[in-house]
Structure 1
Amino acid sequence: MKIIYILALAMIISVMNSTMFNVALPSIRHDFDLSSSQVSWVVTSYIIIYAIGSVTYGKLADKYRLKNLMTIGLCLFAIGSIVGFVASDYWMVIAGRILQSAGASVIPASSMIIPIRYIAAEKRGRALGITSSGMALGTAMGPIIAGMITSFADWRYLFAISLLSLVTIPFFRKYLNQDQVRPLKIDIWGGILLATTVTLLLLAITNVSLILAIITIVMLIVFVIYIRKVDQPFLDPAIFRNSTYTTTMIIACLALIFNLCVPYLIPQMLSSIHQLSSFTIGLIMFPGALIAAIFGIVGGRIADSKGNTFLLRIAFVLQLITYALLAVFTDRSYWLIMGVLLIGNTGLTFAQVGLANTVSRTLDGAQVGVGMGLYMMLSFISGAIGTTVLGLILDRVKSPWSLNSIWYAGGANTFSNIFLVFAIWIAIIILFLFRYLRAANHNSTFSK
């Protein structure tokens, strides 16, 4: 289990790097005299490469040793950090973020693959719980550390923090020594087509562009035709003939939307309704993330002892309670909201552990790398879609009324309505999709 703790440390640094720069955008915009659309590429470029890298490293892990991939990825991460730290022009900031993302994306891919290859199935839930705890802790620490640094020093020092990832390389090289690679041919053109399709999709989502959406659909059709004809394609379509894997992936994408939506929506609510500063918002959200990090390990043990079905029941019920309470008490005390987040973040972490453990059990050795990489990529894309939709709602919809008949939240109606929809969404998963998945698996993979 030593390698899992090292992986969790790398996960903390990686996730922090993805969340810290949201706080620094106003400073970067001011220093380089940028527009909002221009400075957004600090985040957008990272998102695009991160999503593509997750599945790419997953595919490469089927042919190359993980310790070598981790070494290359973390070195790229460090090089990007150095480029960003010394940036004197905006293009250097973007170049640094792209290099960072190209390297850091090895971590989420490996966080799914390493537990499968190095941890026995009966202990895998605990391992996934530890890595999920690292993700939760990194998410919480990122805005707080960024707020402190940007308050007292230059935003470039955010890049320097990511250099801490270098300390994990010797440990990865020591413990990742049991890989059994296969002599596969890497389908470069298939990888390029997939990367292009994902890039267009994320650009279409973030820019809300119909033209880009149409081009994305065309590229997707080309990609599907290509992988059906070529030998040893980058993404073997046979993986989708695994009905258990495909069904579980659908459930995961529908449920994991909230992993990005909630961290995006809560700060917006605390800022617009309660007029809190970024640093105070970070402090309000930190206890929930810390508890989620602690209980992530507990969730892994529950999955190992009681099964994934039992853990996911708890996860979805906790989320249902959270969104119902937030819908009712949207404009109440932010201390109350902080308490509710203790429940909600734990539910989100339990869902991460249970769903990842479930997906991992639907794959055999030849499909693990690309299958888990695809899982990470699609869950990330679903979250990106969710946050984009939320952004459009918050920008364009000002509800004079509330769907919630228990409590009318006045100026907070839009947020109240969104949380009520979240609660209904989770209720549908509990009542229908969850039951369907159990029936499809005949109580075999999903409940173990």
Structure 2
Amino acid sequence: MNTATAKNNSGSFALIGVLAFAMVISVMNSTMFNVALPVLRQEFELSSSQVSWVVTAYIIVYAIGSVTYGKLADKFGLKNLITFGLICFAVGSLVGMFATGFGMIIAGRVFQSIGASVIPASSMLIPIRYVSTEQRGRALGITSAGMALGTAIGPIVAGFLLGFASWRFLFAISLLVLIALPFFRRYLKTEPSIPGKADLPGGVLLAATIALLLLSITGRSWGYAAATLAAFLLFVWRIRRANQPFVDPGIFRIGKYTMGLIIGCMVLTLNLCVPYLIPQLLSSVNGLNSLQTGMVMFPGAVVAALLGLVGGRIADAKGNIFLFAWAFALQLAGYIVLFSYIGMGSWPIALLLIVVNTGLTFAQITLANTVSRTLSGPQTGVGMGIYMMSSFIAGAVGTSVLGLVLDGRSGDGGTFGSIFGFFAIWIAAAAVLYFVTFGRKAATKVWA
């Protein structure tokens, strides 16, 4: 490796490190406020449905933003978009921190989400644009580790702040993301804007489809479901007729990309379902309180974050299919044991979560790496944005379905066991699809 190449790699991975830090803050910002909902409900005298908008509003905008930034990155450049996003994130944090009413809290969360959603889009695009194919697994491993670490420490930080201070400090913590801004400005290249008009009607219809879908799920409303279908059909009609559509329908004619999208939705759904299910299991079956639950879940998230760094290097050295085989095996083993011994103690569950969370992290690295290689040129930004958005929405659907299944039966260990049994079948089906679709190509080893 010559001096110029080594210097370029050093700069690229410095940028990846900054991105991982921003990912930690972004993910913490999402998980911290779940812990704060009971406090906000009591202070502002709200119903459960009203206070849930602190999370719901964030989810809706986050899902829309992940694909929108992916599309705009092809036109305006990542440096400008990340600058805008992080400033917007900080503005939302200030609005929430000094909120005098619940409406201002919601406004702060919306502004936070408008800004924060640039980070997941960037977590896909920066490794693709700034890191060589041979080292992309390592880069994705670092960003995945940031996501896992944010997931691990978010609830613990929130519990500490709510115990000794105020919910306002949750917004203050989010201001730390500004530390990353000068480093992004330093390491990101200045890219010229690409002329052309943005398909605003297409973007609005896509946003409406996503918002209505999530509202139909969270509100369990057939009316919203019908409106979702209508908005989606109008969106399809629009992108098939626009000269420069918001989403080029031709991207779905790339067979491997479309299959990667489907497999990604199947596998990454569990990234939200497992963290949603485990606290309810520990509370209902094991009788743990919130602090004890956090302590049981913490080791698995931290170890998964550290092993994510190793997983990226494995993908580079051994190939995607090798890492996915480990991701599949670890998850399958964990779900089968949880299915078979649902009444086990809390610390055996903590050990199993190390296995399962590592499998989830490996799967995340593999799928992002695999799907990114099916795209090229101007398809990359919006294609990876759609990948992130679809996986996120699939997870939201999955957690909603789990909520319906657990309603009235949350204390029934047999119900939890059946769910883990279904998870085992689900991941096995996804693995078969992955090996059939990508087995030959992904099996090729890529050596640095």
TM-score bin (small chain): over 0.9
Conserved? CA contact 1:19–1:143, under 8 Å: yes
Partner Cα distance (1:180, 1:359) in 2: 26
CA 1:414 to 1:228, structure 2 compared with 1: closer, same or farther past 3 Å? same
- Distance across 2 between alignment mates of 1:396 and 1:218: 33
Q: Could you tell me whether the CA contact under 8 Å between 2:280 and 2:410 is conserved in 1? A: no
Report the alpha carbon displacement of residue 178 of structure 1 after superposing the two structures with TM: 5.6
> Could you tell me which residue of structure 1 aligns to residue 37 of structure 2?
25
Provide structure 2 residue ranges, at least 5 long, that are not aligned to the other structure: 1-12
1:444 corresponds, among 419, 441, 444, to 441
Aligned equivalents of 1:132, 1:229: Cα separation in 2? 38
Equivalent-residue separation in structure 2 for 1:446 and 1:395 (angstroms): 43
Find the aligned partners of 2:369 and 2:44 in 1 and give their Cα distance: 44
Match of 2:343 in 1: 331
Tell me, yes or no, if structure 1 residue 73 matches structure 2 residue 88: no
Paired residues for 1:5-404 under 5 Å: 5-177=17-189, 179=191, 181-397=193-409
**Would the aligned equivalents of 1:312 and 1:354 in 2 still touch at CA under 8 Å?**
yes
- Contact 1:62–1:184 (8 Å) recurs in 2: no
SS in 1 for 2:441: coil
Instruction: Name the SS for the 2:245 alignment partner.
Output: coil
Which runs of 5 or more residues in structure 1 are unaligned? 400-410
The CA deviation at 1:302 is 0.8
Equivalents in 2 of 1:320, 1:422: separation in Å?
A: 8
CA gap of 1:446–1:14, structure 2 versus 1, over 3 A, is farther
One-letter code of the match for 2:430?
Answer: I
The superposition leaves residues 328-367 of structure 1 with CA deviations (integer Å, 9 ceiling, x where unpaired) of 2222110000000010000000000000000100000111
CA distance in 1, matches of 2:138, 2:20: 12
- Give how far 1:435 is off: 3.3
1:434 maps onto 2:431 in alignment: no
Counting aligned pairs with the same residue, the percent is 60
Q: Deviations over 1:293-323 (max 9, x none)?
A: 1111111111111111111111011000011
Is the CA contact 1:362–1:445 (under 8 Å) kept in the aligned structure 2?
no
Amino acid at match of 1:351: A
Q: Distance in 2 between matches of 1:138 and 1:398?
A: 27
Q: What does the per-residue CA deviation read over 1:39-95, in whole Å, with 9 as the maximum and x for residues that have no partner?
A: 000000000000000000001100112111111100110110011111110000100
Q: How many residues align?
A: 433
Q: CA deviation at 1:185?
A: 2.2
The 1:398/1:57 distance shift into structure 2, 3 A limit, reads closer
Q: Which runs of 4+ in 1 moved over 6 A?
A: none
Residue equivalent to 1:419: 420
TM-score, length of structure 1 as denominator length:
0.95
> Any conservation in 1 of the 2:321–2:442 contact (CA below 8 Å)?
no
Deviation string, structure 1 residues 164-184 (Cα, Å, up to 9, x no partner): 000100000000016465323
